[in-house]
Amino acid sequence: MKRILTIITALLIAVSFTGCNIFKTAVKEAVEELSEKAKESRTAEVSENLRTTEYTNSESDSNKICTVGDISFEVPADWNAVSELEGSFISPDKKTAYQLQGESMLGSFTPKEFYDELVSSYSDSYNVIYTEDDVTPITSADGTKCFVGRIKMTNNNILFNIDVLAAPNKNTVLTFAAQCTENNEPDTDIREITKTVSFNIGAEDTASGRNFKISNGTEIHLNDDGSFKYFKNSDDADSSYFEGNYEVYYGQAAFDKLVSMSEYGLTEEELENILSANMNGYSVGGSHPMDYLENSETADGVSDKKGYRICKDTFYTIIMHTNVLVENGEVSDIDGTALYMGYYLPEIEEFDLLSVNTYTYTQWTEIQ
């Protein structure tokens, strides 16, 4: 367990601090060289260089929304974006830099465990001057339950005020930092940025109202009105198919629905254990606890296996209530229920679902 945590933490540190010297240089250059003309050209650079970063207007005219990948947060509208550094800004007085420093999977660990390990790792290389005894519950702007802890440290006369934000249901840890010279304090506390976070992970139903090709050669259409058609052969859709109604649940609602179906004997604790075993990296076809190490390392340091990020909010329960079979034009009334549980994998835009009835996995890919 210690080994897995070290791997995750090292990834976070690499993401966070690979850019620190570059960022500090960029800050100094900005402080020394930014003229009004440079500001105008920098705006053009941002749109060219930050291809995965988007800026939109906030409901408040005084803020703008920055989106980097699956994370959105608000910053004051008058902050200047730093070219070539995603999610990085300089205050108007050019004395403080702000940055979404890093993103990592939380894995199968508590927010406090992750925070403590991060503090320990930072202490090996930086002068840590302040930490907290525990992480504090906080609700993000989109209603996600999170935990946050503060770290203050110095390096090369630069003061870092860092918020470590852990969102268990999103399997995500973020670090936001304010950077200024050691004898100053940031004009805006970094917590004011941290609390504006929204997660674009498991934020919507990605199953209902869509059509899918299934890895076993079948095809299913989940219609907007709650009805479905399940075709036995995707290459000959009209020859034989089932019809009925479906239900889709995701996130905590998916857990709650499964537990309520007592005939399947699944408990909340069992579902949480399944989730925890997969949080470090999920393999298509169902993961086992050792898959994370196999996905991360082999004898020669190279792995051809991929561990995908999953979280509670990308966990799905899909129930199919079948009442009609159409076969070669003949219609028969039937009564059957099929239950599927598993994950939506945003990285490959695919569902990996276990049929609880047959205990087999299939992959569902949306038909565009």
The whole-angstrom distance between residue 226's C-alpha and the CA centroid of its chain comes to 28
Start-to-end C-alpha separation, the chain: 41
The residue that leads in pLDDT, 304 or 173, is: 173
- Distance between CA atoms of residues 163 and 149, nearest Å: 6
**pLDDT for residue 42 is more than 90:** no
Nearest alpha carbon to residue 194 among 294, 292, 66: 66
H, E, C per residue of the chain: CHHHHHHHHHHHHHHHHCCHHHHHHHHHHHHHHCCHHHHHHHHHHHHHHCCCEEEEECCCCCEEEEEECCEEEEEECCCEECCCCCCEEECCCCCCEEEEEEEECCCCCCHHHHHHHHHHHHHHHCEEEECCCCCEEEECCCCCEEEEEEEEEEECCEEEEEEEEEEHHHCEEEEEEEEEECCCCCCCCCHHHHCCCEECCCCCCCCCCCEEEECCCCEEEECCCCEEEEECCCCCCCCEEEEEEEEEEECHHHHHHHHHCHHHCCCHHHHHHHHHHHCCCECCCCCCCCHHHHHHCCCCCCCCCCCECCCHHHEEEEEEEEEEEEECCEEEEEEEEEEEEEEEECCCCEEEEEECCCCEEEEEEECC
CA atoms within 13 A on the CB side of 106: 26
- Segment holding 129, helix H or strand E: strand 127-130
Q: How confident is the model at residue 54 (pLDDT cuts 50, 70, 90)?
A: low
Look over the chain and give the mean of its residue pLDDT values, rounded to a whole number: 81
Q: How confident is the model at residue 368 (pLDDT cuts 50, 70, 90)?
A: confident
pLDDT tens-digit map of 236-283: 767 789 999 999 999 999 999 999 999 989 899 999 988 888 888 898
The 8-class DSSP code of residue 82 comes to P
Provide the phi-psi class of 23: left if phi over 0, else alpha when psi is between -120 and 50, else beta: alpha
pLDDT at 206: 96
What three-state secondary structure class fits 79? coil
Query: Domains in the chain, start-ordered, CATH in brackets?
Result: 2-199 (3.40.1000.10), 211-366 (no CATH)
pTM of the model: 0.76
pLDDT at 171: 95
What three-state secondary structure class fits 247? strand
- Distance between CA atoms of residues 69 and 63, nearest Å: 19
pLDDT at 293: 43
State mean pLDDT over 311-320: 96
Q: What angle do CA 198, 203, 206 make, to 5 degrees?
A: 155
> What's the one-letter identity of residue 358?
T
**pLDDT for residue 179 is more than 50:** yes
pLDDT at 204: 93
- Distance between CA atoms of residues 171 and 280, nearest Å: 9
- Least reliable range by pLDDT among 11-20, 21-30, 52-61, 193-202: 11-20
pLDDT at 18: 34
Quickly list H helices, the chain: 2-17, 20-33, 36-49, 111-125, 191-194, 252-260, 268-278, 291-296
In the numeric block, which tokens belong to residue 326? 């159409």
Q: How confident is the model at residue 58 (pLDDT cuts 50, 70, 90)?
A: low
What three-state secondary structure class fits 174? strand
pLDDT tens-digit map of 76-114: 999 999 887 889 999 998 899 999 988 999 988 899 999
The residue that leads in pLDDT, 20 or 363, is: 363
Q: What is the edge-to-edge ordering of all strands in the sheet holding 198-199?
A: 53-57, 63-68, 71-76, 198-199
**pLDDT for residue 4 is more than 80:** no
